[in-house]
Amino acid sequence: MIRTEMGTGVPVIKASHAPERVRYGDVLKIYIEAESPDGDMLRISVLATQVGYGRHPTDWVYLKPEHRNYFKGYLQWNTSDSPTPISEWTQVTLEVSILDKVGRESNVVVFPFQFVSEAIPESQPPAPFAEGDPRLGYLNIHLFEPSRTG
């Protein structure tokens, strides 16, 4: 029997970026650059905490094989997917990390932001990110308006 072991390297998030404000209904892009010395990154973990509601279930985005060693791109969250419109100034925190095939977790990056009513002008993402970076996947997080949840 031949025994193979997974490497001992933990995935690392090298850079990240997300806006601090978003208008309900707009597309939110969360940029991440990560690498694994073993090339065994498997999935991205996104945990949302909403003030007035609490924690939502963890959302998982599985990586394509070509992104298991290194990737730079964004997660797309269509904020209008929530069952009820979200009030202005609703605060949400996203905690993002990478897990590899054996369950080792990278560093955690935290993105606090709030919903606002005014339009947010589109801007170019900061370095090392570029407008042409690929979409890594979609977030499936459905926020709730706390005043309407009973």
Would residue 25 count as lying in a domain? yes
Please state which of the ranges 63-72, 82-91, 108-117 shows the lowest mean pLDDT: 82-91
Number of domains in the chain: 1
Question: Which residues make Cβ contacts (< 8 Å) with residue 41, sequence separation at least 6?
Answer: 11, 34, 63, 67, 68, 69, 71, 98, 99, 100
What pLDDT, in 10s, does the model give residues 99-115?
999 999 999 999 999 98
Percent of all residues in the chain with a pLDDT value above 90, rounded to a whole number: 59
Would residue 128 count as lying in a domain? no
- 71: domain CATH number is 2.60.40.10
CA 141/CA 81 separation, integer angstroms:
8
Q: pLDDT higher for 97 or 84?
A: 97
Q: Which DSSP category does 20 fall into?
A: S
Would residue 6 count as lying in a domain? no
